Chain A
Amino acid sequence: MFITPNTIENIVKQIEETAGTQTALLFIAEHTKIDIENLILELNQRQITFAGGIFPRVIYNDTVYEEGIVVNFIDQIHHAFVIKNLDQKEFTIPKIQLASDKSYCTFTLVDGLTGNIANYLSELYRTLGTSSIYFGGGAGSLTLEQKPCLFDNDGFYMNAAISLIYESRVSIGVKHGWEKVDGPLIATKTNNNTIQEINWRNALEVYKEIVERDCKQEITVDNFFSIAKAYPFGIVKENSECIVRDPISTNEKGELICVGEVLNNTVLDILRGKNENLISSATEAAKLTTKNAQNPNTGIIIDCISRVLFLEENFQLELNTVIEELRSKNNQMEISGALTLGEISSYNGYLEFFNKTIVIGLFE
């Protein structure tokens, strides 16, 4: 369901009409003029169970919206929990027992600008393991200014993660299409999301040397983001595409700040994007999803906002090819999604936090 900007009362009314006993999952585009605290109050008064996040943009069918609310409904939540203060090392994930003969999906929303996301996902995987499929993304503002961006019946949160576990057969496709320019390099000194040294040298110096040689442009403080969005890092991973890490800014010490953690001594490549590769990889992700799905009724696309910034007007092409592929499985299927700050999926192995990647889920 897509709700255009409206009064809180009307928004809540529309959700209530469909919700019944289901849990509403809300993706709100960040420019939507809405008072979240008020929305929480109104939804609670109508006794609607809900959770959601604020994202740079949302997707409904073949359109990207800067304003508006995408609502999906989940039948029976097996378990839902919020982890607050994710930026602190200490947090506890509740012990959960999942039946081995059933299929589960763990839908996770995180504050995309907090620290410790990889650690949270690692702990989530430690608890649930392969008994669930994982799917989700990072909420937050495109301004990269951190503020509350996740909410549920109990409040509006920053530095948090919300996980909803429910019974569902899900088919997932994950791809990014970024290609190696240079590497391997070693991130010899890091601190959570910050790469301080590469190959035992100042990180920015090494990054500049490689990227300037390729893009034939000098990197300055002012143009860092506009150039770096085309040259992310790739963490080498066997039997799959590398994990992309997006450097979004630099500081006065010449350190590179990324979306998501980079561990000490991580082996990195520097990647480069080409429009056609990114678009074809998105189609490939969609094909992977449809190949494994049987009778999907809902499609959710979690696509990185930085792909939109890189592809610009060509992003519509990416979205169109993905939608076309998904519709080939079920023409009537409702497709929605969010443009996120980081994407979450396990894809048949260890649970990861991706950047600049498209994660598509078909739910049955």
Chain B
Amino acid sequence: MDIGKNIADILQLYEFSMAIGKSLDYEKNCDKFLTLLLARKNLSGCCILRKRDEHYEKLYAFPAASVSNKYIPHNQFLTSCFKNSEPKTGIFNDSIKKTVPMCTEKGAWVYFNLKEDLGLFLFENNGNLFTSIDINQLNPIIAKFSLSLDACESFSKQQDLLKKLTSQNQELKEYAHVISHDLKSPLRNVVTLIAWTKEDAGNLDENLLQNLTGIEENAEKMDNLINGLLTYSTIDKEDIVANHIDIKPFIQEIIESINDSKKEITTFNIHTNVESLNFNALQFKQLFFHLISNAIYSIDKENGVINIHIDQHDSILKCSVQDNGKGIAKRYFDKIFEIFQTLENDKKSTGVGLSIVKKIIELYEGKIWLESQENMGTSFHFTLKT
């Protein structure tokens, strides 16, 4: 036994196997492995064909013209190759040359089945037949190459999907802005026209006045709904920039911005174990604005109390907003975070606020849950990864 030859063969297979999967790009992956195989085995060309219902499709060929047509009609030669999962070899003859446009005058070919519908052909020009040892040595290497082609295809699909998703996100963002602008401007006109009607008409009939106020309130709700939808659809698509936030003044500012008369009868307590943190200011404001607004809105007692906790534990931010309001029935616990869900027929509520909260929290790989007792109050707890 020629040990030296065996070692050389094994090292050659090592070289081939190291050339597989060097790139996730289909063409480059084929280039790296197959051109090495052609060079070392002194072969003249190769091609990868995929069997389709209507024809065979050339996926790769080296040299490019070794198979001149992109599509090859079904024929006896290719059918006999593709029906076997075992490699097959032979010499080019006139009948093959007539049916398969492989640019070679002479020589031998070998076929390896890569997958059910995918096959690799290697060609050589010197008339040396591929031996069973050649084929047996190459078979496991080609099987490994076949797996790497699967990985390339998956990667390519993933990249296409990502590209499509990015483009859809961009479209959605633009769409949301256009819609919001186009819907809001007639709404602003409606509100202005009602205000002018009220001013100009002097003493209006009580019913008419009530109707006009109703229109005004609905227009305001519509405006809030558009704002909410715009925020909901774009909150996870904006570039996230971290800002420095001084917690207590920031929360105080949010409370001041909430337009609700119940604020006057409510005491706010802010507890935190950190003075400041780095977080996207817009998203942080959205989170607490909706939770504190809901808490204030739920106050049904003479003296409201709202406790806000913000604690940093390593990279996790643990927060809660607790009120002594009317509480939420258990059956609403899951439903409450769904978009357009409101607890009762509230003219002002849009049903978007808590959906925005949940979306922001999920963006930061956090969780939100609530504890509540009817007539006693509600606590919303959530975590965020900073």
Within 8 A of A (CB), among B1-40: 7-8, 11-12, 14-15, 18-19, 35-36, 38-40
Name the residue of chain B whose CB is nearest to the CB of A188: B18
Bound-state CA distance A54–B8 (Å) is: 39
Task: Identify the stretch in A125-133, A249-257, A282-290, A307-315 within 8 Å (CB) of chain B at 4 or more residues.
Answer: A125-133
Task: Indicate which residue in B18, B44, B66, B105 contacts A264 across the interface (CB closer than 8 Å).
Answer: B18
Interface assignment of A186: CB less than 8 Å from any CB of chain B: yes
Q: Is the CB of A348 within 8 A of B125?
A: yes
In the complex, what's the smallest C-beta–C-beta distance from A91 to chain B, in angstroms?
15
Give the total of A residues in contact with B, Cβ under 8 Å: 27
In the complex, what's the smallest C-beta–C-beta distance from A176 to chain B, in angstroms?
15
Answer whether A130 and B66 are a contact pair too, CB < 8 Å, given A184-B7, A238-B40, A349-B126.
yes
Interface assignment of A350: CB less than 8 Å from any CB of chain B: yes
Would you give the 0/1 interface string for A107-146, flagging 1 where the beta carbon is closer than 8 Å to chain B?
Answer: 0000000000000001001111111000000000000000
Answer whether A349 and B63 are a contact pair too, CB < 8 Å, given A130-B45, A130-B125, A265-B19.
no
Q: Is the CB of B35 within 8 A of A122?
A: yes
Interface assignment of A332: CB less than 8 Å from any CB of chain B: no
Q: Is the CB of B42 within 8 A of A349?
A: yes
Residues of B within 8 A of A350 (CB): 35, 38-39, 42-44
Would you give the 0/1 interface string for A247-269, flagging 1 where the beta carbon is closer than 8 Å to chain B?
Answer: 00000000000000001111100
Q: Is the CB of A130 within 8 A of B103?
A: yes
Interface assignment of B382: CB less than 8 Å from any CB of chain A: no
Interface assignment of B65: CB less than 8 Å from any CB of chain A: yes
Bound-state CA distance A313–B196 (Å) is: 112
Answer whether A349 and B104 are a contact pair too, CB < 8 Å, given A184-B11, A237-B40, A267-B12.
no
Q: Is the CB of B63 within 8 A of A129?
A: yes
Interface assignment of B208: CB less than 8 Å from any CB of chain A: no
Interface assignment of A239: CB less than 8 Å from any CB of chain B: yes
Name which of A122, A127, A131, A349 has the most chain B CB atoms within 10 A of its CB: A349
Interface assignment of B297: CB less than 8 Å from any CB of chain A: no
Q: Is the CB of B42 within 8 A of A239?
A: yes
Interface assignment of A45: CB less than 8 Å from any CB of chain B: no
Residues of A within 8 A of B269 (CB): none
Q: Is the CB of B103 within 8 A of A126?
A: no
Bound-state CA distance A41–B39 (Å) is: 41
In the complex, what's the smallest C-beta–C-beta distance from A359 to chain B, in angstroms?
16
Q: Is the CB of B104 within 8 A of A130?
A: yes
Interface assignment of A100: CB less than 8 Å from any CB of chain B: yes
Interface assignment of A317: CB less than 8 Å from any CB of chain B: no
Residues of A within 8 A of B65 (CB): 128-129, 131
Bound-state CA distance A188–B102 (Å) is: 36
Interface assignment of A293: CB less than 8 Å from any CB of chain B: no
Interface assignment of B241: CB less than 8 Å from any CB of chain A: no
Residues of B within 8 A of A267 (CB): 8, 11-12, 14-15
Task: Indicate which residue in A130, A186, A238, A240 contacts B44 across the interface (CB closer than 8 Å).
Answer: A130
Bound-state CA distance A348–B104 (Å) is: 11
Q: Is the CB of A236 within 8 A of B63?
A: no
Bound-state CA distance A131–B105 (Å) is: 10
Q: Which residues of B contact A (CB under 8 A)?
A: 7-8, 11-12, 14-15, 18-19, 35-36, 38-45, 62-66, 103-105, 124-126, 128
A-B contact pairs, 16 of them (CB 8 A): A100-B103, A130-B104, A131-B65, A183-B8, A186-B11, A236-B40, A237-B41, A238-B41, A239-B41, A239-B42, A263-B36, A265-B19, A348-B44, A348-B126, A349-B44, A350-B39
